[in-house]
């Protein structure tokens, strides 16, 4: 376990969401649901949805460009690009290759990782570890997902939850402030069936029989996912704090994955955190999967919710089952 990343710092953030807004009232017209039902169970009021012509890399490129500008660096300074996504442009090549070319990151080695909603946490950990061991000076991670094209719009239990978006972070070595202190991550593959897209891979390729059974769309056991998410994220936060020799009372601000407001509130209660110490923006975007953490981080920064010297915790949970937490000294 790496407990300290030698002054690896987050020097720039940015996010992008599509222009199209789909409200709960819009959803009332296409599926058997109501605004009240969605808000009381999830905390979501609206979400952003891509145009038919937009893909995951289109969002990633826009978020990455904003993060580069905020970091004050050029595209050629990026040594490493990691894209976290579960909705790539193509089965191959990677969305990272598409993004690298179009964003002009000509000196960056790049690849995708798939850890579902935990993807940006995993990408941060991998990027920081490679920077520490492989002498990469500047890295970019982008969490980007277009799940509107993977949900069944006739299934009210899933289609109301997700939105499209991308969030980016730029990391640099040997900078004081906004430093990654410690992390925790984990996986429990026994839960693969709780949240999955059954068809489209080598086990079950897209066939007419799968299409008729709507197996190309996301399926979720919501009750079991809720139970696992609240438990795993809480314990992951505690372990990450322990690695940094900190207590839960040391947390100044937490940015949890925006999957469900009730999950966020349950974790905050376990950590004894006041409302003003918890980032919640799910009402505006829904669950943007791997984009959730970087979008929320960028908004928290722009809204002045994080101050210099704060202990900030990022934590997420996703399909796999996967989870992870990172402690940052701002």
* Stronger pLDDT, 303 or 2, i.e. the higher one: 303
Whether 179 contacts 8, CB under 8 Å = yes
| pTM above threshold 0.85 | yes
Q: Boundaries of CATH 3.40.47.10 in the chain?
A: 9-176, 181-329
* pLDDT of the residue at 218: 81
Whether 291 contacts 165, CB under 8 Å = yes
Distance of alpha carbon 330 from alpha carbon 327, whole angstroms: 10
Please, where are the H alpha helices in 2-85? 24-28, 35-42, 56-71
3-state secondary structure of 89: coil
Cβ-Cβ contacts under 8 Å for 227 (sequence gap 6 or more): none
- Tens-digit pLDDT profile for residues 51-97: 999 999 999 999 999 999 999 999 999 999 999 999 999 999 999 99
* pLDDT of the residue at 134: 93
- Tens-digit pLDDT profile for residues 152-184: 999 988 999 999 999 999 999 988 889 999 999
What mean pLDDT do residues 300-313 have? 97
Q: Which CATH superfamily is domain 181-329 in?
A: Thiolase/Chalcone synthase (3.40.47.10)
What mean pLDDT do residues 189-207 have? 86
* Stronger pLDDT, 220 or 8, i.e. the higher one: 8
- Tens-digit pLDDT profile for residues 239-297: 999 999 999 999 999 999 999 999 999 999 999 999 999 999 999 999 999 999 999 99
Query: Among all residues, which ones are annotated catalytic?
Result: 117, 257, 287
Whether 263 contacts 270, CB under 8 Å = no
Render 283-304 in DSSP notation, one character per residue.
HHH-B-GGGHHHHHHHHHHHTT
Tokens of 235: 């314990």
pLDDT-derived band at 200, boundaries 50, 70, 90: confident
How large a percentage of the chain has pLDDT more than 90? 85
* Neighbouring-strand partners of residue 172: 9, 138
Q: Which CATH entry fits the domain spanning 9-176: 3.40.30.10, 1.10.3720.10, 3.30.160.20, 3.40.47.10?
A: 3.40.47.10
* pLDDT of the residue at 221: 87
* pLDDT of the residue at 220: 85
């Amino acid at each position: 376990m790496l407990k300290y990343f030698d002054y690896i710092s987050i020097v720039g953030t940015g996010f992008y969401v599509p222009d199209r807004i789909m409200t709960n009232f819009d959803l009332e017209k296409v599926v058997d649901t109501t605004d009240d039902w969605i808000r009381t169970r999830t905390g979501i009021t609206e979400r952003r949805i891509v145009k038919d012509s937009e893909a995951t890399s289109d969002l990633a490129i826009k978020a990455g460009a904003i993060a580069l500008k905020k970091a004050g660096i050029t595209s050629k300074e990026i040594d490493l690009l990691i894209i976290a996504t579960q909705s790539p442009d193509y089965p191959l090549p990677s969305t990272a290759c598409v993004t690298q070319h179009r964003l002009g990151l000509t000196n960056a080695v790049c690849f995708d990782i798939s850890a579902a909603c935990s993807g940006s946490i995993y990408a941060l950990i991998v990027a920081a570890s490679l920077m520490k061991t492989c002498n990469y000076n500047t890295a970019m991670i982008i969490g980007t997902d277009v799940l509107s094209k993977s949900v069944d719009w006739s299934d009210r239990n899933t289609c109301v939850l997700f939105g499209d978006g991308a969030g980016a972070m730029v990391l640099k070595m040997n900078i004081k402030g906004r430093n990654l202190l410690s992390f925790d991550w984990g996986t429990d593959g026994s839960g693969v069936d709780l949240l999955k897209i059954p068809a489209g891979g080598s086990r079950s390729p897209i066939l007419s029989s799968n299409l008729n059974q709507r197996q190309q769309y996301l399926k979720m056991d919501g009750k079991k996912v809720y139970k696992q998410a609240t438990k795993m994220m809480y314990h992951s936060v505690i372990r990450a704090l322990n690695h940094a020799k900190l207590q839960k009372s040391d947390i100044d601000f937490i940015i949890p994955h925006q999957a469900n407001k009730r999950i966020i509130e349950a974790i905050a209660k376990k950590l004894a955190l006041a409302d003003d110490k918890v980032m919640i923006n799910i009402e505006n975007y829904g669950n943007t999967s791997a984009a959730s953490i970087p979008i929320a981080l960028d908004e928290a920064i722009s809204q002045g919710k994080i101050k210099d010297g704060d202990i900030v915790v990022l934590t997420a949970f996703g399909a796999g089952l996967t989870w992870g937490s990172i402690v940052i000294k701002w």
